Amino acid sequence: MMATMKAIRFHEYGGPEVLRYEDAPKPEAGPGEALVRVHAAGINPLDWKIRAGYLQAMRPYPLPLILGWDLSGVVEANGPGAARFHPGDEVYSRPDIGRSGAYAEYIAVREEELAAKPKTLDHVHAAAAPLAALTAWQALFEHGGLAAGQSILLHAAAGGVGSFAVQFAHWKGARVIGTASARHHEYLKGLGCDQAIDYTSTRFEDAVRDVDIVLDTQAGETRARSWQVIRKGGILVSILGPAPAPEEAAAHGVRSALFLVRADAAQLMEIAALIDSGQFKVHLEAVFPLAEAARAHELSAGNHVRGKVVLKVL
């Protein structure tokens, strides 16, 4: 008889109501993989966008699908050739988004996508970190080339990616400017934000000029208004498609980049060390049991989350 586990799956695209808490086949660790007992799974906008069918053309997943590409847990077993971790090791990961996810009791993860969990965090907080932290890290340092003494404008600075980006930029020695509603301003200042702009009452282009980098987490109108605040030779780094038009960037004398975060265990190890040193914090907006993933999606999709929403699996 096939081994099963509890998981959240959806069998058709739609609203949060399509998410089902049900039995699903328990995965096995293949060559170079570890089977991880999931303790907590982070929720990201990617999850509900896939569930709603927004990304069908780009990623035609077979259904039913288990969502979730942020996790913290304990290694249960290793597949053939996997030796980086041992059963009982605590790990966290942003696994391959092309495969089945972590809204489940177990997940098989390639060992090169795993890193030791930050020792100072419990599993719920650790599960909130990988995808958002890697996105912020790669946006700022790989694509933006952020250096000490530069300035950066972060849109949606209080969100999951924004919260990490504020801390990383401050740690690097940059001047950090963030947009968020007024209720988040004290929170942002506590993370290291030098200037918080209330987007509900102030147009950021009236309060900012000549920044070195804009981190675009919004696209659309926000991106269109961002070109004018970047200094000549600066860069707009976007994490949302469609890709910025090169001619639009060139017309403003700046550069642009669009990227999709990649799994990187070495970066997760570096981030874990910095968290354990007390330099970075992980903020949770809410924690839900696995069975209440639909409620968690509703909250995440409301676009007013401070930090992250997490599912507690174990």
Does 115 fall in a domain? yes
**Number of domains within the chain:** 2
Please write the tens of the pLDDT for every residue from 218-254.
889 999 999 999 999 999 999 988 888 889 999 999 9
DSSP conformational letter for 162:
H
Q: CATH number of the domain that 211 lies in? A: 3.40.50.720
Kindly provide the b/e burial profile for residues 131-166, where b requires at least 16 CB atoms within 10 angstroms of the residue's own CB.
bbbbbbbbbbeebbebeeebbbbbbbbbbbbbbbbb
Residue 1 has pLDDT above 80, yes or no: no
Residue 177, C-beta contacts closer than 8 angstroms, at least 6 positions apart? 151, 152, 153, 154, 193, 194, 195, 196, 197, 208, 211
Identify whether residues 145 and 111 lie together within a single domain. Answer: no
* Domain shared by 248 and 151, yes or no: yes
Q: What is the pLDDT of residue 58?
A: 85
Considering the domain architecture, whether residues 19 and 91 belong to the same structural domain is answered as: yes
Rounded to 5 degrees, φ, ψ at 223 are -65, -45
Question: pTM of the entire structure?
Answer: 0.95
- Residues 38-48 pLDDT 10s: 999 999 999 99
**146 and 244 share one domain:** yes
- Say yes or no: 144 and 231 in one domain: yes
Task: Indicate the residue among 242, 258, 274 that finishes a domain.
Answer: 258
Q: Are residues 54 and 145 both part of a single domain?
A: no
Do 137 and 122 share a structural domain?
A: no
> Do 136 and 253 sit in the same domain of this protein?
yes
Half-sphere exposure of 99 toward its Cβ, with a 13 Å CA cutoff? Answer: 13
Other Cβ atoms less than 10 A from the Cβ of 58: the count is 9
Model pLDDT for residues 144-198, shown as the tens digit of each residue = 999 999 999 999 999 999 999 999 999 999 999 999 999 999 999 999 999 999 9
Q: Are residues 154 and 59 part of one domain?
A: no
Do 25 and 102 lie in one domain? The reply is: yes
Average pLDDT, integer, range 49-65: 93
Are both 117 and 149 inside the same structural domain?
no
Provide the H-helix boundaries in 148-214. Answer: 160-172, 185-191, 204-207
Domain of residue 73, CATH code: 3.90.180.10
Domain contains 268:
no
Phi, psi of 295, rounded to the nearest 5 degrees: -65, -40
Residue 86 has pLDDT above 80, yes or no: yes
pLDDT tens-digit readout, 272-293: 999 999 999 999 999 999 999 9
**Measured between alpha carbons, how far is 85 from 120 in angstroms, rounded to an integer?**
19
pLDDT at 113: 97
For residue 63, being part of any structural domain is answered with yes
Whole domain around residue 165: which residue ranges?
132-258
For the cut 90, the answer to whether the pLDDT of residue 206 exceeds it is yes
Residues 115 and 140 placed together within one structural domain of the fold: no
